[in-house]
Structure 1
Amino acid sequence: MNGILKKTALAVTGFMFLASSATAAPMLPNFVPLAKNAGPAVVNISTEREVESPVMGMFSFPGMEQFFEQFGGPFGMRPGQPAPKQKSSALGSGFIISADGYIVTNNHVVEGADKITVKLNGDKSDGLAAKVVGTDAETDLALLKVESKTALPVLKFGDSDAMEVGDWVVAIGNPFGLSNTVTAGILSAKGRDIHAGPFDNFLQTDASINPGNSGGPLINMAGEVIGINTAISANGQGIGFAIPSSLASKVINDLREGKKVSRGWLGVTIQDMDDNTARALGLKNAKGALIGSVLDGEPAAKAGLRAGDVIVRVGDTDIDSASALTRSVASLKPDTKVDIVVLRDGKEVKTTVTLGERSSHNTNAQNPGQQSEGGDLGVSIKPLTPEDARALQLSADVKGLLVVSVKGNGPAAEAGIRTGDVILSANLKPVTSADELVSIVRKEGKERGAVMLQINRHGETFFITVTLDNK
């Protein structure tokens, strides 16, 4: 009898398991309608730009440089003659936001491109020529425009703020040139700061994102764009980052309307609080943004803010970190009057600040600086000016060389040097002129095969080693 009861119990258990599995199956999302509806609005973006060709060719031997310097360059090149140019191509993604051809992508996808071509999903032609309507390097966003004889499929922005960790998301793009690839996952985290820019507030997802996905949409289950896929973790799997739509939509609207992307400016250097600093200031917790210095003549100084104040609120927004303060102030327009609450001597102090205008940290192309050709780093640089330091929110005593541009195939790019970086030293020697940097790179760099640069990026200082060809 007991055996019969056991068999019956197992049968019932098995039935319950199958029943629960059958019940759970319909709960899994169906991505087919989403892929069919959203896919046609996602485009492939290819770019071309001219770069210097390696003059050494495939073969070289010690002393060849001196031979060419004395008797002329390879294939008839004369000393001092510019290196020949070759075309370099790259691929990225984008998505259409209007039937008349406006397309959103990343700035880094199209930056420096001489030619931009957009291919629609399923299009077997040579594609459509695209022009850049506007870019915003600080948020890594760009708006393109193509002309089409027919109305184009579109995607709409959704509300990234309404998304919660664990929500299903879908990424569509062109990883490794594989057009219209659809991957699915969940929203892994919100508000990630990966030190890619001053307004880092990325969405993190485990939906597979790879090179070529840049500029493509991250979509919610309603088919709305809640993020623009931008970055990946080189050392991890299933860790991708997207610009939230709450930030991107505002920037794109300004670019589409032909407006300048302008942001509020406070005129302070700031840093995060920690427990020791809070204890030293007699505060209960480590929230807020600590003012390290107040720039003379700037809005904060005019409003009476001081070094050592801890900013805890801007308008109706609570501030829990330095990055939160940067984003909050930048979200407001210049000349906006805003109430700011600080903690000073353990007490709350409220003041009203009329914001100034934040300058872009990308150097104006009218002053490109000196090209460090002899240094072989693959960068354009210029001495850091007080105006540059202000735009980068650096203290006035920072001295160095501002990186104006980085060649996509050069040693500096491979090492991770970015436009807007400030080179403070090379092999522990301070550099304030192009000649100083070039001299170190030519001598020590060539002898050792590498040069160690001290970099200031958005107020953080660290070292990057650039590998050089020491033949």
Structure 2
Amino acid sequence: MMRPWLLITLISTIVWVGLTALMLGVLVWVAPLRLAILRALQEPPVSEQSVSSSFTPSSEHEGRIVATVRQALPAVVSIVGSTTKSVSTRFPFEGSLLPFFGDETFPLEQQFQGTGFFVSKEGIIVTNRHVVSDEDGSYEVVTADGEVLVPERIWRDQFLDIAFIKVAYTPQAVLPLGDSSDAQLGQSVIAIGNALGEFVDSVSVGVLAGKGRSVVARGISEVKALESVLQTDAAINPGNSGGPLLTLDGKVLGVNVAVASGAENIGFAIPAEMVKPALRSIQEEGEIVRPWLGVRYRMITPEMVKMNSLPLKEGALIVRGSDPKQLAVIPGSPADKAGIEENDIITKVNNEAVTQSTPLGALIRRYAPGDAVKLEVYHEGEFREVTVLLDRAPHDLPE
């Protein structure tokens, strides 16, 4: 009869060997997966595969959609990223029973995909920040004609879920950034992207369903509040992130960013007019420049009014973060210099009301560093007006 300790040793050895084989199998499997992704992305674009010269649209509306898609596809790119994480296969039994096994660590490569589109002939691409969020990751851009490019530089916005990629390439087409301020609810929109990271050049059509939405996007590694975003019922799926939301005249209304989980046909996009200042600063100064007020805040909601007996129904309540180190007003910031304090409520920016649809951050981003803006502030039961000189947002901005 086999002794108990010998049986445990045998079982443990089998488990350890099995885990090791599994990890090695994953490493062997990842490389072909990346190759398969790139091969799929290098297939001829839809514009070359399926557009027939004999096609006759059933209506003028359908004709405009097809024409817009045909013109836009050459500007849309796929972004393939990979990052390597260390995975430990710690032996499950502690003690000196099998001291010769110890810990083993294996590199595990993770693959992910997103979408982007050219916005300048200089080879600048806009996408979502979360698509290229890992600064230690490696990325490749696959163009509509199947060329695989390595980014020369990546700029990540501190405030919005957008990023820019520079590649050494002259694009076949660029997409002009529009403005959603004049867009009407119910107007037709087109979303383009790599649906589910698998179906290249996926096109969906819908309408602009809402403006000025505030939502919380939950990703794998972060939870991010999105303010003043557009809502659409055009299908936006994982992999579509960073793709364009277009009007029928081919202008970018927004950058696709998120989809509501547990719901159908509710997607969101960052308005194009929020992207323009960042692009302009990259082209003029070589970096993303944003104006900075220097406060943490929460937009007042009916629930907050009810629970906290707040004196106002709208505005931005200046509050500290969950960490005691996250102060409500950043010392030395423009807000601090103007005398704004914790628990103040900012109600207007240059006479424009601070509301759920026009939150404080969105209003401040309309201006540039060095601009003087007038704020209406509710302080200890009284309204007062203060003038703030906006500064340039620091690179090491506290969380």
TM-score for both structures, normalised by structure 2: 0.71
Aligned counterpart in structure 1 of residue 209 of structure 2, from 188, 193, 201: 188
CA contact (8 A) 1:288 1:322 kept: no
| Structure 2 segments unaligned to the other structure (5+ residues) | 1-57, 218-223, 321-327
Q: If you compute each CA radius of gyration, which structure gives the higher value, 1 or 2?
A: 1
Matching of residue 164 in structure 1 with residue 184 in structure 2:
yes
Pairwise mapping of residues 140-151 of structure 1 onto structure 2 (< 5 A)? 140-148=161-169, 151=171
- The one-letter amino acid paired with 1:218 is L
Pairwise mapping of residues 227-246 of structure 1 onto structure 2 (< 5 A)? 227-246=254-273
Provide the rounded CA distance (Å) in 2 between the counterparts of 1:321 and 1:207.
23
Provide the rounded CA distance (Å) in 2 between the counterparts of 1:350 and 1:84.
59
The number of residues matched between the two structures is 322
Q: 1:239 to 1:66 in 2, by over 3 A?
A: same
Deviation (angstroms), 1:288:
2.1
Match of 2:172 in 1: 152
Match of 2:106 in 1: 84
Provide the rounded CA distance (Å) in 2 between the counterparts of 1:161 and 1:109.
26
If asked which structure has higher relative contact order (CA below 8 Å, sep 6+), I would say: 2
Provide the rounded CA distance (Å) in 2 between the counterparts of 1:165 and 1:136.
28
- The one-letter amino acid paired with 1:336 is D
Matching of residue 340 in structure 1 with residue 375 in structure 2:
yes
Provide the rounded CA distance (Å) in 1 between the counterparts of 2:239 and 2:310.
48
SS at match of 1:39: helix
Provide the rounded CA distance (Å) in 2 between the counterparts of 1:101 and 1:298.
35
Please, what is the CA RMSD of the aligned residues?
Answer: 3.1
Match of 1:384 in 2: none
Matching of residue 320 in structure 1 with residue 384 in structure 2:
no
Identity across aligned pairs (percent)?
A: 30
Pairwise mapping of residues 296-375 of structure 1 onto structure 2 (< 5 A)? 298-321=333-356, 324-344=359-379, 348-359=383-394
Q: 1:42 to 1:265 in 2, by over 3 A?
A: same
Deviation (angstroms), 1:198:
5.2
Pairwise mapping of residues 50-449 of structure 1 onto structure 2 (< 5 A)? 50-53=84-87, 55=89, 64-66=92-94, 70-73=98-101, 78-79=102-103, 83-112=105-134, 114-123=137-146, 127-148=148-169, 151-176=171-196, 177-196=198-217, 197=224, 200-257=227-284, 258-267=286-295, 269-272=297-300, 274=302, 276=306, 281=311, 286-292=313-319, 295=329, 298-321=333-356, 324-344=359-379, 348-359=383-394, 391-392=398-399
Q: 1:354 to 1:210 in 2, by over 3 A?
A: same
Matching of residue 47 in structure 1 with residue 81 in structure 2:
yes
SS at match of 1:259: coil
- The one-letter amino acid paired with 1:324 is P
Deviation (angstroms), 1:261:
2.5
Deviation (angstroms), 1:97:
1.5
Provide the rounded CA distance (Å) in 2 between the counterparts of 1:200 and 1:271.
10
After superposition, the C-alpha distances for 1:175-198 in whole angstroms (9 at most, x for unaligned) are 122111111001111111112445
Provide the rounded CA distance (Å) in 2 between the counterparts of 1:118 and 1:68.
50
SS at match of 2:215: coil
Provide the rounded CA distance (Å) in 1 between the counterparts of 2:227 and 2:264.
21
CA contact (8 A) 2:214 2:357 kept: no
Deviation (angstroms), 1:103:
1.2
SS at match of 1:180: strand
Deviation (angstroms), 1:233:
1.4
Provide the rounded CA distance (Å) in 1 between the counterparts of 2:124 and 2:359.
31
Provide the rounded CA distance (Å) in 1 between the counterparts of 2:151 and 2:382.
55
Q: 1:167 to 1:228 in 2, by over 3 A?
A: same
Provide the rounded CA distance (Å) in 2 between the counterparts of 1:68 and 1:40.
62
Q: 1:233 to 1:354 in 2, by over 3 A?
A: same
Provide the rounded CA distance (Å) in 1 between the counterparts of 2:177 and 2:116.
13
CA contact (8 A) 1:271 1:292 kept: no
SS at match of 1:109: helix
SS at match of 2:211: strand
Provide the rounded CA distance (Å) in 2 between the counterparts of 1:167 and 1:224.
13
- The one-letter amino acid paired with 2:132 is V
Provide the rounded CA distance (Å) in 2 between the counterparts of 1:308 and 1:54.
46
Q: 1:292 to 1:46 in 2, by over 3 A?
A: closer
Q: 1:65 to 1:140 in 2, by over 3 A?
A: farther
SS at match of 1:179: strand
Q: 1:310 to 1:26 in 2, by over 3 A?
A: same
After superposition, the C-alpha distances for 1:98-130 in whole angstroms (9 at most, x for unaligned) are 23322111111122253222222242x6x2222
